[in-house]
Amino acid sequence: SVVSDTRIDEGARIEPHCVVDGAHIGARARVGPFARLRPQARLGEEARVGNFVEVKNSELGDGAKASHLSYVGDSEVGRDVNIGAGVITCNYDGKRKHRTVIGEGAFIGSGVELVAPVEVGAGAMIGAGSTITKPAPAERLTVARSRQKTLPLKKR
């Protein structure tokens, strides 16, 4: 791993093949393998950033986890949040960067796109594969995807 300009608290662990620059890794937090923490990435105590996860200018609260294949940029992630595989915070609109806020204890299903600026309330659940463009209320399930259809194939 390559680590520069980073504060690493007691008991934190960085697995092999990570790139960490300008970050703060809280006590007993785990990073990697194959993770990237860019400047202003801040991980709380016992937070987890797993394989092929990139975090930039974001805070993950105590016990929050993004275990694999995700991008978390310009975000505030509350304590004990679970970010599923393939989640993306879509923070750039072509001109400006926007923030995503995820409340404490929220569950973000796999393959979700959070289009900033957007807020997910505490204890909310976001259904897998959803594209979220509006606030998702606390303690509610929000799903934003079209229904599956099965159509006959045309012969080629």
User: Where do the domains of the chain lie?
Assistant: 2-141
Mean pLDDT of 123-132: 98
Q: What percent of the chain has pLDDT over 90?
A: 93
Mean pLDDT of 58-67: 99
pTM: 0.94
Whether residue 46 has pLDDT greater than 80? yes
Mean pLDDT of 28-51: 99
Q: What is the pLDDT of residue 97?
A: 97
Q: Any residues with CB less than 8 A from the CB of 116 and at least 6 apart, and which?
A: 74, 75, 89, 90, 91, 97, 98, 99, 100
Q: Any residues with CB less than 8 A from the CB of 107 and at least 6 apart, and which?
A: 81, 82, 84, 124, 125, 126
Q: What is the pLDDT of residue 140?
A: 98
Q: What is the pLDDT of residue 31?
A: 99
Q: pLDDT band for 35, please (50, 70, 90 cuts).
A: very high
Q: Any residues with CB less than 8 A from the CB of 32 and at least 6 apart, and which?
A: 1, 14, 15, 16, 17, 18, 49, 50, 51
Q: What is the pLDDT of residue 155?
A: 83
Give the active site residue among 17, 24, 68, 98. Answer: 68
Q: What is the pLDDT of residue 120?
A: 99
Whether 27 and 11 have beta carbons less than 8 Å apart is answered as yes
Query: Is 68 an annotated catalytic residue?
Result: yes
Whether residue 74 has pLDDT greater than 80? yes
Of 156 and 61, the structure prediction assigns the larger pLDDT to 61
2-141: which CATH architecture?
3 Solenoid (2.160)
Whether residue 73 has pLDDT greater than 80? yes
Q: Average pLDDT over the chain, rounded to whole?
A: 98
